[in-house]
Amino acid sequence: MGRERLESGGRGEDRASQALRAQGYRIVERNFRCRQGELDLIARDGDTLVFVEVRSRADDRFGGGAAAVGPGKQRQVVRVAQAYLSIRRPRFDTCRFDVVAITGDDVVVIKDAFRG
C-alpha cells in the first residue's frame, strides 16, 4: 500500500475516532492485525463491543464511504472479528459491527451496519 494511501487511511481513522468519542464510544484498539486481515477500530459503546470499519472517499462520485463496505468486505471484517475474539478474549455482553463512512468533510456513524 502506498504511503499516501496509508496516511489518508490514518487521517480517516483519526476522524472516525473523534466522531465515535463524541458519541460516547471508548476506543479500545486501532489497527488490529492478524492472519485473517485487519480491523480498523475496536470500541466500546456502553457494554457493547463494537468492531468498526472506516471507509473514506474524497467525494461521492463513485458512491460515498458507506458504498465501499459491500458483502465481501463485511465477510472479511466478520472473520477478523472472530479471530480478535479468539485471541484477545474480551469480556462483553453484546457485540456489533458499525461503519464510519467519511465522504469529503461528512462523517457518518452507521450503528449496527451489518450482521455477522
Q: How much is the average pLDDT of 44-56?
A: 96
Indicate if the pLDDT at residue 3 is higher than 60. no
- Please check whether the domain covering 3-114 is classified as CATH 3.30.450.20: no
Which residue's entry shows cell 458507506?
66
The amino acid occupying position 110 is I
* Cα distance between residue 18 and residue 55, in whole Å: 15
- Ordered by start, the domain boundaries in the chain are 3-114
- pLDDT tens sequence across 66-83: 666 889 999 999 999 999
- For 17, the grid coordinates are 475516532
pLDDT in tens, 93-110: 999 999 999 988 999 999
pLDDT at 46: 95
Contacts within 8 Å (CB) and 24+ apart, 66-72? 66/99, 66/101, 66/108, 66/110, 66/113, 68/101, 69/99, 69/101, 69/113, 69/114
Q: d(Cα 72, Cα 61) in Å, to the nearest integer?
A: 21
Half-sphere exposure of 100 (CA within 13 A, CB side): 29
The predicted model gives 84-91 an average pLDDT of 97
CA 56 – CA 49 distance, rounded (Å): 22
- Residue 10's pLDDT band (boundaries 50, 70, 90)? confident
State how far the Cα of 102 lies from the Cα of 98, in Å rounded to an integer: 13
pTM: 0.88
